[in-house]
Chains A and B, each alone.
Chain A
Amino acid sequence: MNAIELNHVTKIYQRYNRRRQFATLKSALLSGSLIRDLRPDDTFAAVRDVSFTVPRGRTLGVIGRNGSGKSTLLKLVAGITKPSTGHLTVNGRISALIELGAGFHPEISGRENVFINGIMLGLSKKEISRRFDEIVEFAELRDFIDAPVKTYSSGMYMRLGFAVAIHVDPEVLLVDEVLAVGDEGFTHRCLDKFAEFKRRGKTILLVTHSLGLVERFCDEALWMDAGSMQALGDPKRVVGAYITDVEASEEEQLAAGDARAREAATTVSPDEPASAVLPDNPIETATGPADMFRATEGRWGSREIEITDVALMGSDGERAHVFHSGGRLDIRLKLRAPVAMTDFVVGVGIFNAEGVCCYGTNTDIEELKAERILGDAEAVFSIESLDLVEGTYKLDVAVHKMDGYPYDYHRLLHTFRIKSRTKDVGIYRPRHEWQFSDSMTFRRASNQ
């Protein structure tokens, strides 16, 4: 028996153009466009041809980017909006945790609001009376239940809303990203409650950005993208596909961002003295670690040796902007020296999003004495194992004289992102391993 059934469901939102937004009844009457103004000028399909079924007692997780139609889908299932075309059936009492405490009236007490909210959600007075203590207990609001709701903190408000909605005892529970409402303890109890629902054979439709939750908790996952179904099936597989896609588009964004940054940097005339771009003495910048913490992006230098191209490459040798922690990173610099030079140093610096230098080195520090460069050249800086924590990083690359006089300095012009399965923190991840005595044991969580 299916609890939720969608058959080629499409939801088209009506979009009105600017004229319509300022249209008034008066103008509608004057121009006789009353009927026309009630019609949309443009339409927008928020959900496009979606079909799926959720058998009774199963849990379906819906993931996808912002604006991909997840919430609209939930509203359709909840019956708040009707599908434009297609067919949709839901068997059993629905409770939708879409906006918690939506029906609360600020002036009256929590107690009265619980009753009215419960009635709105389809309970009878008697049923609410029976569950009242449980609701208050769950929301942890025993001391405040007779105070007007306007005096509640937003957390209290949400907790009460959640407590009422969850105690409606629905056969079908719709949850829209509401787990972020309370503190850790409350979130855990919410999850316990969901687990209890599952055990009791209730159907749950869960919209969330917490991919780990989907993998752990759902029997199936649905990935929505731009209103269409992108994938449906085993949560691990769907989440994996989704993550890959997100990385790919992040990749694109970073590439575009880098291109913009480089363009902006080159519009600053390279002939200008370095001090015009960077107020500090560039000699200091190249070597003095203190100034490495100053994050002003830009490009400067005499271009006697020019960095013509910077490529970040992963283990496959392809240009990329997203890398996995512990993976390989090659930074390839293409250089050009129109005349032969003998005094040069090549340097690389990695900065995190806060502008903290994670690592910096150059050929001089590493006691490589420059001999000669002429014409086109290539330098590759290879990192065997990129042991950085997850985050966005920026790159400095530079060629300068031994004394710091810059030939070509790219400051923070190149961005890359590190992805990691572990959410550890800090700026550096040492290669590490845990060892435990036999008297303490662990089990690997089916992980995020």
Chain B
Amino acid sequence: MARLGSMLHNLVRLARYRGLIQSLVARELKARYRGSVLGFFWSFINPLALLIIYSIVFKYFLIRGEDKLPPYEVFMFCGILPWTWFSSSLLESSGVLISGGNLIKKVLFPAEVLPIVTVLANMVHFFLGLPILLGFIVYNGMPLHVGELLWFPIVVVVQLILTLGFALILSALTVHFRDLRDILQNLMTFWFFTTPIIYRYTDMKPEVMRWLNLNPFTHIVITYQEILYFPGPVGHWYWLLVLGVISIVFFLFGYFVFDRLRDTFAEEV
């Protein structure tokens, strides 16, 4: 109980580091494109280039005949953007305590700030990719409903909390098990294909669907797709809310693990 108490205390204390998190996220974003000619524009250009490539591929190579639905590249992009946020966050945060070892060892520094900054910096990239996606949606004359868009911030928040939970656990465990990073690389590839990003959830057989339902990211991606791609109301909201609750519990669990291992970081990294 005492541990739980100190964990909550630390969690509350985290609010004090808002300014620090903010400036570190800004630094992260600035540093990433420092030295490149186009600088910040790469955050737009990268997703744009990806989307154009998909458009070409699905227009000329992988032709899906019978669909009455809007272009398939837009469908994929609805999943790939949030997935990139998720997977980059996890991969980067798994190494973040080790690369930030100097801070942990030499400065009085709240270690959890590092994975949090990673997740938030990737979230900013996600946001920067959205205008490209919206541009394509409008360009293709797809309808967007305000009522559906209201779900958008909710799904973003759920994904954020879920990602933070994973990032905290992974960053803390990687300090002790360095090979977690390599395992994670492969795991993320597997995870990508077991999430309905490049295929449609509704095209799956019922028994496959059951398995897919166990994947938390399935519900996040489906919600994005329903909001941005599929016509009609968001039918997946029930799943999303359940996932939201699970995410909060998972985040607290992640923070708990992190907090318990906190004192070992300065010695192990």
User: Are A14 and B267 in contact (CB-based, < 8 A)?
Assistant: yes
In the complex, per-residue mask of A4-47: 1 if CB is within 8 Å of any chain B CB, else 0: 00000000011000000000111010000000011000000000
In-complex Cβ contact of A115 among B23, B31, B176, B178 (8 A): B23
User: Are A103 and B103 in contact (CB-based, < 8 A)?
Assistant: yes
- In B12-53, the 8 Å CB interface with A consists of 19-20, 23-24, 27, 30-31, 34-35
In the complex, per-residue mask of A85-120: 1 if CB is within 8 Å of any chain B CB, else 0: 000000000101011001101011000100110011
User: Are B179 and A79 in contact (CB-based, < 8 A)?
Assistant: no
Residue B150 interfacial (CB < 8 Å): no
User: Are A120 and B27 in contact (CB-based, < 8 A)?
Assistant: no
In the docked arrangement, what's the CA distance between A303 and B178, Å?
Answer: 63
Q: Name the distance in Å between B198's Cβ and chain A's nearest Cβ.
A: 29
Given A25-B179, A99-B107, A119-B20 in contact, is the A13-B35 Cβ separation under 8 Å? no
User: Are A25 and B180 in contact (CB-based, < 8 A)?
Assistant: yes
Residue A78 interfacial (CB < 8 Å): yes
A28: chain B residues at CB < 8 Å are 177
Given A80-B106, A103-B102, A120-B103 in contact, is the A108-B19 Cβ separation under 8 Å? no
B104: chain A residues at CB < 8 Å are 80
Tell me what chain B mostly uses at the interface: helix, strand, loop, or mixed. Answer: helix
User: Are A125 and B180 in contact (CB-based, < 8 A)?
Assistant: no
User: Are B107 and A103 in contact (CB-based, < 8 A)?
Assistant: yes
Contact-residue bracket for chain B: 20 to 34
Q: Name the distance in Å between B173's Cβ and chain A's nearest Cβ.
A: 8
In the docked arrangement, what's the CA distance between A102 and B107, Å?
Answer: 7
User: Are B108 and A78 in contact (CB-based, < 8 A)?
Assistant: yes
User: Are A81 and B263 in contact (CB-based, < 8 A)?
Assistant: yes
Residue B183 interfacial (CB < 8 Å): yes
Residue B134 interfacial (CB < 8 Å): no
Residue A75 interfacial (CB < 8 Å): yes
Give the residue name and chain of the B residue nearest to A174 (CB): B108
Q: Name the distance in Å between A41's Cβ and chain B's nearest Cβ.
A: 14
Residue A148 interfacial (CB < 8 Å): yes
Total residue contacts A-B, CB cutoff 8 A: 75
- In B100-143, the 8 Å CB interface with A consists of 102-109
Q: Could you say which of B34, B177, B178, B263 has the most chain A C-beta atoms within 10 Å of its C-beta?
A: B177
Q: Name the distance in Å between B243's Cβ and chain A's nearest Cβ.
A: 27
A115: chain B residues at CB < 8 Å are 23
Give the residue name and chain of the A residue nearest to B31 (CB): A107
User: Are A25 and B183 in contact (CB-based, < 8 A)?
Assistant: yes
B178: chain A residues at CB < 8 Å are 24
A105: chain B residues at CB < 8 Å are 27, 31
In the docked arrangement, what's the CA distance between A373 and B263, Å?
Answer: 73
Residue A121 interfacial (CB < 8 Å): yes
User: Are B108 and A94 in contact (CB-based, < 8 A)?
Assistant: yes
Give the residue name and chain of the A residue nearest to B34 (CB): A107
User: Are B109 and A24 in contact (CB-based, < 8 A)?
Assistant: no
B264: chain A residues at CB < 8 Å are 14
User: Are A107 and B102 in contact (CB-based, < 8 A)?
Assistant: no
B23: chain A residues at CB < 8 Å are 115-116, 119, 125
User: Are A81 and B183 in contact (CB-based, < 8 A)?
Assistant: no
In the docked arrangement, what's the CA distance between A80 and B106, Å?
Answer: 7
B177: chain A residues at CB < 8 Å are 24-25, 28
User: Are A116 and B107 in contact (CB-based, < 8 A)?
Assistant: no
User: Are B24 and A108 in contact (CB-based, < 8 A)?
Assistant: no
Residue A56 interfacial (CB < 8 Å): no
Residues of A that sit less than 8 Å from B by CB: 13-14, 24-26, 28, 37-38, 75, 78-82, 94, 96, 98-99, 102-103, 105, 107-108, 112, 115-116, 119-121, 124-125, 148
Beyond the given A13-B267, A96-B106, A102-B106, could you list 13 further A-B residue pairs with CB under 8 A, ordered by the A residue number?
Answer: A24-B178, A26-B179, A28-B177, A37-B176, A80-B106, A80-B108, A98-B107, A99-B102, A99-B106, A99-B107, A102-B107, A103-B107, A120-B109
Interface pairs (29), CB distance under 8 Å: A14-B264, A14-B267, A24-B177, A24-B179, A37-B176, A38-B176, A75-B266, A80-B108, A80-B266, A81-B263, A81-B266, A96-B107, A96-B108, A99-B102, A99-B106, A102-B102, A102-B106, A102-B107, A103-B102, A103-B103, A103-B107, A105-B27, A107-B34, A108-B34, A116-B27, A119-B19, A119-B20, A120-B109, A125-B23
